[in-house]
Amino acid sequence: MTRPAAATTMLDRRDIHFLRPETTAIQSIRTLIGCRLLPAMIALASVAAAGADAPQRYGQVDEARLRGSAAEPQNWLALGRDRSGAYYSPLADINERNVKRLGFAWDYEFGTYRGQEASPIVVDGVMYTSGTWGYVYALNAATGQPLWKFDPKAHGQAGRYPCCDLLNRGVAVWAGRVYVAAVDGRLFALEAATGAKVWEVDTIVDHSLQYSSTGAPQIAGHAVVIGNGGGDMGVGGVRGYVSAYDLGSGALLWRFFTVPGAPGAPFEHPELELAARTWDPQRNPDYRGGGTVWDGMAYDPELNLLYIGTGNAAPYDSRQRGRTRQDNLFVASIIALNADSGRMAWYYQATPGDEWDYDAVQKFVLAELNIAGKRRKVLMQANKNGFFYVLDRATGKLYSARNFATVTWASRVDVKTGRPVLAPAAEYHNGPVLTYPSVLGAHTWPPMSFSPRTGLVYIPVNEAPNVFVDLAHNGGSVGFLDGFFTINGIIPDRAYDPKSLEPLFGKLPAYESGRRGAPDVHNVLRAWDPVGQKSVWERKTSQGYSVWDGGILSSAGNLVFQGLASGDLCAYTADRGRQLTCVPTGSHLGSAPITYSVDGVQYVAVQAGYGGVAIYAPIPPTTVASKYLNQNRIIAFRLDGGQVPKPPERVEPPVPLPPENPASAQVVHEGERLFTAYCSRCHVFGPSITPDLRRIDPAVRARIKNIVIDGERAPNGMGRFSDVLTESDVNAISAYLLDQAWQLYREENRAAVR
């Protein structure tokens, strides 16, 4: 791919042109109002301006600082604060006695309107974070004033490849540099002081496949490691791997593939010989296996082990991967690699032969626990499949596994063998079944938190079932869904109507079939004892389909913080779960909050923006994103702050009068099938983060072919689809959209039409 050069914008009083004018003004005013300390803030701004010319070392994180992070509680040096990945802070100035005074300090708007899943890093008063496409932002952590912004100039076609939006899950800061992966798979090293590019490398092995990078890089020894996504995409997904690059030069040090290549292909490293024994040697080489490493990684410097989690098998249906169901190593697994060589030390497969999109990429927590009377170094994960795993992080030995959410696909995990015991609800080859948990997972990318003070893990839990449908054999008109292959995962709630879906997907089970628990899907904040493998307390945080609530922060102030789909940042007592306060923001809060202090003032900050897998459905009325515009921003809070400014209210424009539709009913029906298969992953009918194509104006409607076939809007994230759609297909899709536009127009203008 030909890519324009990446660009860094330095920001000071003379150069703030990258921001929208209104954003710049609002940013400054909001900081002053929120803090109610105008003289002090002016003084602080003066100090910052004067210090701009003084020598200062930025982003100086190393192993010694991470090891001694308890001695500098004011900083948040890594995504989970330190090597433990616990999202726990020893700060306690904000505590259970005064957290009700929490209010607005400042916010910083990105000028984008997509999903936000990163947690910032704060080093010596400077905040570093990433946004859509892999943009990087450096801010004054006390005021939110921008220092610099980096634009990776990601290739527009790559906007089509992520399963779940153009998001990014964070940066790594190390030895004066900031590392980030752009959505098109390029890895960058930037100067922490200026944002200037030091080096860039292309991490993608095959750009003809739908690879993307949305995860945060992981520093491991002398290497920076990055994975990728794409295991759900295209006809047969992609082949998962991680790559390790020299921190200084960007040279490739090693690469570890998580699944074997095509049958008969040579093995890139010895571990693949073991993996190949668990795959059908006669499988279709177009099905590339999956096992992508798109999120969770961790590193133990004492053991020099890098821990990676691998994603779902591709395709989902095991019958397309082989003649018999096999384990298909190393999909849905936790793997420990030597950070110097990339050789595997051990692996644990959480979901052998995964058929349910149960990735094992959820963020890990590294801790020490008393197990059977001995202090053990463990790795903990609340897996997407609904089981909480405690493993010895030196050997991979399974100490315990227990379901932390409703699970029906397996009855238990046999600790002796380490394998799940499958239940009847796991089997959808003979017809659709309702299974817990859903494809969203009992827990997915929003980080959990571990408090060494309470000994509890705090998990953002999704209690939701899933209807798994074999599209190829269920009698519906849709046999393929981009992002789902030939298996559809429908999350049934009160709006679920099997009859209306039957023409597309075939006969589906009733809502009550196999359902357990509450009458609606809902989210829970669950405090979990990892030693006793039991729930200590829980609080329902959202009712109804809201995608999910945010990640978790715990602190020495006996507090647990979580942002919600309702737009509230809520604080609970860590020991008993008593709700202390909820601060409304008007923004969807999915990321995990962080906390830090500058000049003795403690802040809590969270990145805001609705998106991610939410692109698959209209914005539900249970979320704040249905009421307010989805302005991406970082919001910082402090004691005695003000009210959080809310974004403008969301107003849907009326559908313009559509032109006449000359297409036949047969063409419209074919357009519906094609739209469902290739377009509905991002474009839904109703309020969304992408355009509702029923409401497009005539000028856009006239250029649908240019947009879909020629990629006219690829720079905006709408890549071309000429590889899977013909001009005739696009005409059919356009006819279907026009039919739907007329239906909506008549509905909105019912009185006038009469």
Active site residues: 357
With 0-12 / 13-18 / 19 or more C-beta atoms within 10 angstroms meaning exposed / middle / buried, residue 518 is middle
The residue written with tokens 């793997």 in the block is: 335
Beta-strand ranges (E) seen in 33-159 are 88-89, 102-109, 121-123, 126-130, 136-140, 146-151
The residue written with tokens 């177009």 in the block is: 286
CB count within 10 Å of CB 7 equals 13
* Distance from C-alpha of 597 to C-alpha of 125, rounded to nearest angstrom: 8
Are the beta carbons of 241 and 257 closer than 8 angstroms? yes
The sign of the CA dihedral 674, 676, 679, 683 is positive
* Distance from C-alpha of 330 to C-alpha of 259, rounded to nearest angstrom: 6
3-state secondary structure 518-552: CCCCEEEEEEEECCCCEEEEEEEEEECCCCCCCCE
Closest of 134, 156, 153 to residue 714, by C-alpha: 156
CA 203 to chain CA mean position, Å: 20
* Distance from C-alpha of 508 to C-alpha of 331, rounded to nearest angstrom: 28
Integer CA distances (angstroms), 235 to 210, 288, 576, 727, in order: 10, 9, 48, 20
* Distance from C-alpha of 676 to C-alpha of 671, rounded to nearest angstrom: 8
Integer CA distances (angstroms), 663 to 163, 428, 635, 679, 732, in order: 32, 37, 49, 19, 8
- Strand ranges across the sheet with 433-435: 433-435, 466-470, 487-490
CA 664 to chain CA mean position, Å: 41
Q: Which two tokens stand for residue 452?
A: 């060494």
* Distance from C-alpha of 129 to C-alpha of 121, rounded to nearest angstrom: 6
Are the beta carbons of 611 and 630 closer than 8 angstroms? yes
The sign of the CA dihedral 463, 444, 166, 678 is negative
Is the preceding peptide bond at 480 cis, omega within 30 degrees of 0? Answer: no
- Neighbouring C-alpha atoms within 13 Å toward the C-beta of 10: 10
* Distance from C-alpha of 32 to C-alpha of 534, rounded to nearest angstrom: 46
Q: Using alpha carbons only, what angle is made at residue 624 by residues 619 and 626, rounded to the nearest 5 degrees? A: 35
Angular region, 353: left φ>0, alpha ψ -120 to 50, beta rest: left
DSSP state of 248: T
- Neighbouring C-alpha atoms within 13 Å toward the C-beta of 83: 26
DSSP state of 7: E
DSSP state of 678: I
Q: Which two tokens stand for residue 353?
A: 């032969």
* Distance from C-alpha of 538 to C-alpha of 697, rounded to nearest angstrom: 48
Integer CA distances (angstroms), 226 to 63, 249, 256, in order: 19, 15, 11
